[in-house]
């Protein structure tokens, strides 16, 4: 499964480090910054509102993350779930990790937990992987809805 764009090639650098270094969080799709972790929209979402709770430190995969990093990234998963519930009212969520490139991690250098809202009767999570996805709203609209929910 490839959740994150393959644009994160060695030549292109690290998409998460670039996003963190960008001056404009909206352009970078970062909806919340914490000390050790942040919430960022997936640029190629499987559903509107597809977030990633991601560690700030480059080189911190699941095997290398510290207890403090693990605590904060899970707290941001919960924050993201709450914001998604407020903004979208989904029926459930998929929350998951791909550890290592062979397992589908597009950016294995930063632990990131995918948070995907689900609705009764929507496409099966596995069946949509790899297919062209048609989303009902733009990333910009998703950004605005989630930012409002996070900061209300």
Q: Which residues bind Zn ion (CB under 5 A)?
A: 14, 16-17, 58, 109
Q: In the chain, how many H helices and how many E strands?
A: 5, 5
| H or E element in which residue 93 lies | strand 92-96
Selected catalytic residue, list 50, 112, 114, 151? 112
Say which residue the tokens 């090639």 belong to: 9
> What is 9-59 written as a DSSP string?
-TTT--HHHHHHH-S-HHHHTEEEE-SSEEEEE-SS-SSTT-EEEEESSTT
Residue closer to Zn ion by CB (options 82, 101) is 101
Residue closer to Zn ion by CB (options 50, 110) is 110
Output the smallest distance, CB 120 to Zn ion, in A: 37
Residue closer to Zn ion by CB (options 4, 87) is 4
Output the smallest distance, CB 75 to Zn ion, in A: 21
The question of whether 112 is a catalytic residue gets the answer yes
Output the smallest distance, CB 57 to Zn ion, in A: 8
Active-site residues, by number, are 112
């Amino acid at each position: 499964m490839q959740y994150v764009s393959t644009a994160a090639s060695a030549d292109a650098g690290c998409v998460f480090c670039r996003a963190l270094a960008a001056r404009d969080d909206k352009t970078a799709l970062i909806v919340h910054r914490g000390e050790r972790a942040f919430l960022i929209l997936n640029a190629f979402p499987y559903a509107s509102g597809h977030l990633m709770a991601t560690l700030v430190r480059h080189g911190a995969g699941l095997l290398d993350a510290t207890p403090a990093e693990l605590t904060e990234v899970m707290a941001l998963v919960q924050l993201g779930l709450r914001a998604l519930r407020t903004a979208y009212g989904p029926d459930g969520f998929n929350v998951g990790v791909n550890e290592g490139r062979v397992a589908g991690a597009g950016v294995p250098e930063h632990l990131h937990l995918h948070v995907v809202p689900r609705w009764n009767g929507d496409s099966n999570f596995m069946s949509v992987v790899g297919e062209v996805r048609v989303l009902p709203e733009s990333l910009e609209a998703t950004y605005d809805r989630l930012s409002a929910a996070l900061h209300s």
